[in-house]
Amino acid sequence: MVKEKIPCAVFISGRGTNLKAIYNYSKNNLSKIDLKLVISNKSNVPGVKFARKNKINTKIINYKNKIKAENKILEYLKKYNIRLICLAGFMKILSKTFIKKFKYNILNIHPSLLPKYKGLNTHERAIQNKDQFSGCTVHIVTEKLDSGKIILQKRVKIFKRDNAESLSRKILILENKLYPKAINKLISSL
Ligand code: GAR
């Protein structure tokens, strides 16, 4: 059982509602993380504005050259002694080299009931296939896209009246609750 808070980084590319949920969780006395760093490949997105407003160290990474970008990120992770990465709507795929070099856990939240619908457009695909349920999954990031060990998953019913947008809204609410729980669960198991 780990007692001290784990220094954590959240990687984002946009809206940042999961970042906000993780931040709120980190502020709770009982939380197991210290949110030390936000990495974004986009400047001026709502997630970056939120991070800056709340005085979290925030680094914008230029992704024109992926190798250079990842090396820069690794420098920051070292500087802040990061022991857990949470991908929260980070729309870049981490290279195998990066995943190998970062020796600790990397978590991701994905808007589907994995192993169904890896990759993009998950809500459209669930509706097109007339699935009865969809949902979200927090899993460990490995070299294979959206395929690592599942930490927690939550499902929601798809109604006839749902479209990709309404489904995505419903699932986002679940995501924002699920991510902190999954972090807690993972760290409790270390
Ligand atoms: C979330 O729905 C997350 O599951 C998804 O991006 C959104 C980010 O929202 N991630 C992926 O699709 C990763 N493959 P947020 O910026 O409000 O947290």
Share of the chain above pLDDT 70, in %: 99
Q: Which amino acid is at 123?
A: H
Structure tokens that stand for 106 in this block: 């990397």
pLDDT given at position 91: 96
DSSP tag of 93: P
- Cβ–Cβ < 8 Å for 11, 85: yes
Known catalytic membership, residue 110 = yes
Write out pLDDT tens, residues 100-115.
999 999 999 999 999 9
Tokens of 127: 């509706």
Where do runs of H (alpha helix) occur along 42-163?
46-53, 66-79, 96-101, 122-128
Say what the pTM is: 0.97
Tokens of 124: 């459209």
Ligand 1 within 6 A of CB of 109: yes
The arithmetic mean of pLDDT across residues 28-47, rounded, is: 96
Whether ligand 1 lies within 6 angstroms of the CB of 134 is answered as no
Residue 111, classed as helix, strand or coil, is coil
- The arithmetic mean of pLDDT across residues 36-64, rounded, is 98
**pLDDT tens-digit profile of 117-170?**
999 999 999 999 999 999 999 999 999 999 999 999 999 999 999 999 999 999
Determine whether the shortest distance from the Cβ of 15 to ligand 1 is under 6 A: yes
Identify the active-site residue in 110, 123, 139, 170.
110
Reading the block at residue 73, the tokens are: 């990120």
